[in-house]
Copies of this chain bind each other. A is one copy, B any other.
Amino acid sequence: MAETLTTTALTLKDIARQAGVSLATVDRVLHNRPGVRPDTVRRVKEAIERNAFQPHVAAAELARGRARRFAFVMPSGPNPFMQQIEAYLGEMSAWLSSRRLSVEMVATDVFDPSVLAASLEGLSDDYDGIAVVALDHPGVRAAIDDLVDAGTKVVTLVSDVPSSRRHHYIGIDNIAAGRTAGALVGRLVGQRSGKVAIIAGSQGLRDHAERIFGFIQVMASEFPGLSVLPVLEGRDEDARSEQVLARLLGRHADIVGLYNVGAGTQGVANALSEKALSDAGRDRQVVFVGHDVTALTRRLLLQGLMDAAISQNPGHEARAAVRVLLALARGEPILREQEKIRIDIVMRDNLP
């Protein structure tokens, strides 16, 4: 009736005794440090295996007694999503300091590869680990690889540089996110046929490009009744997004769906609600799917102007980045399942 999943009470000392060696030797074997005869290594390893011995992390942490410093390299400028990540890091401060960890924010122009690369290079010696919202560019890749070579742990956050040797990526699969957006737009449009608009910050941004790719893929293969218009670029700015979208809506009366890939949400909403006014009486508004749950998208979802937001949980990303950097620094295993960032579909009734 009761099945135990865990037991341990042994200590290094017990293992040492069983293996007929001293504490120090067990410690060396445990951490693959050199200076132990192969035969001794084997004896110790056997004792460890035999007892399924797990060293007590608290004791190790205390004995090591080292404070760790991490840096978060994030975009300067007022991006609500990034601000949420910062805010969640702030909420962790008690957690961090009771573990002698420190996290520092480094703001930089992440859209300029040379600036970003330079920022990264400058951090090498000061930090045990770095989380960076990275632009996928050769210069940035080189900077990341240099950090890694210098022994710094590096995780990419939100936006990845897959070709680099970063230790981990904390963020969503953007192609799948785009596919999800596409499936939602298609399904929510229902039987109607017509055109679908896409507005992105820039197609040069890897995450935007991937989302668009996934979106178009699904549209083409599963919703033949819907035709996708050429992608608009709003540079993630409200004014420009509103302008280009309004023009498009004016030109095509039969737009039934809209995918906003990046920010500039207020502008998109403005253009859309203007159209909604003039459409009053029509059977249904344009289906509008975008990204991220912010104060604004929350309001739009509640109003019904926006139908769904594809979201990556910023609190989870902040905590996962810290935990992964810490695990990397300590040489502990990473709980992949726990650290994986999911693609959340947020609609009015499951707003977090």
Residues of A within 8 A of B (CB): 1-9, 52, 54-59, 61-62, 67, 71, 88-108, 176-177, 179-180, 182-184, 187-188, 190-192, 214, 218, 283-284, 307, 313, 315-316, 319, 333, 335, 337-338, 340, 342-350, 352
Residues B99 and A58 in contact, CB atoms below 8 Å apart: yes
In the assembled complex, the Cα of A4 lies from the Cα of B345 at a distance in Å of 33
Q: Which residues of B contact A52 (CB under 8 A)?
A: 97
Residues B191 and A94 in contact, CB atoms below 8 Å apart: no
Nearest chain B residue, comparing its CB with the CB of A108: B1
In the assembled complex, the Cα of A62 lies from the Cα of B57 at a distance in Å of 9
Residues A350 and B180 in contact, CB atoms below 8 Å apart: yes
Chain A, interface SS category: mixed
- Tell whether A342 pairs with B335 under 8 Å between CB atoms, given A5-B103, A96-B6: no
Residues A319 and B338 in contact, CB atoms below 8 Å apart: yes
Residues B338 and A315 in contact, CB atoms below 8 Å apart: yes
Residues A8 and B315 in contact, CB atoms below 8 Å apart: no
CB distance from A85 to the nearest CB of B (A): 12
Q: Which residues of B contact A214 (CB under 8 A)?
A: 349
Q: Which residues of B contact A218 (CB under 8 A)?
A: 349
Q: Which residues of B contact A3 (CB under 8 A)?
A: 104-105
Copies of this chain, count: 2
Q: Which residues of B contact A62 (CB under 8 A)?
A: 56, 58-59, 62
Residues A180 and B347 in contact, CB atoms below 8 Å apart: yes
Q: Which residues of B contact A89 (CB under 8 A)?
A: 5
6 further A-B pairs in the complex, CB-CB below 8 A; given A5-B104, A5-B105, A91-B335: A5-B90, A6-B102, A58-B58, A315-B337, A344-B345, A345-B350
Q: Which of B57, B90, B104 contacts A2 (CB 8 A)?
A: B104
Q: Which residues of B contact A9 (CB under 8 A)?
A: 67, 100
Nearest chain B residue, comparing its CB with the CB of A9: B67
Nearest chain B residue, comparing its CB with the CB of A55: B98
Q: Which of B2, B176, B342 contacts A344 (CB 8 A)?
A: B342
- Tell whether A91 pairs with B1 under 8 Å between CB atoms, given A99-B57, A191-B283: no
Q: Which residues of B contact A180 (CB under 8 A)?
A: 347, 349-350
In the assembled complex, the Cα of A340 lies from the Cα of B91 at a distance in Å of 15
Q: Which of B61, B67, B345 contacts A345 (CB 8 A)?
A: B345
Closest 8 CB pairs of A and B: A190-B190, A58-B61, A345-B345, A343-B350, A179-B349, A54-B98, A8-B97, A180-B349
Q: Which residues of B contact A105 (CB under 8 A)?
A: 2-3, 5
CB distance from A351 to the nearest CB of B (A): 9
CB distance from A285 to the nearest CB of B (A): 13
Q: Which residues of B contact A284 (CB under 8 A)?
A: 191
Q: Which residues of B contact A2 (CB under 8 A)?
A: 71, 104-106
Residues A5 and B107 in contact, CB atoms below 8 Å apart: no
Nearest chain B residue, comparing its CB with the CB of A10: B97
Residues A183 and B349 in contact, CB atoms below 8 Å apart: yes
Residues B54 and A102 in contact, CB atoms below 8 Å apart: no
Residues A103 and B349 in contact, CB atoms below 8 Å apart: no
Residues B4 and A184 in contact, CB atoms below 8 Å apart: no
Nearest chain B residue, comparing its CB with the CB of A53: B97
Q: Which residues of B contact A340 (CB under 8 A)?
A: 352
Which among A92, A284, A342 has the greatest number of chain B C-beta atoms within 10 A? A342
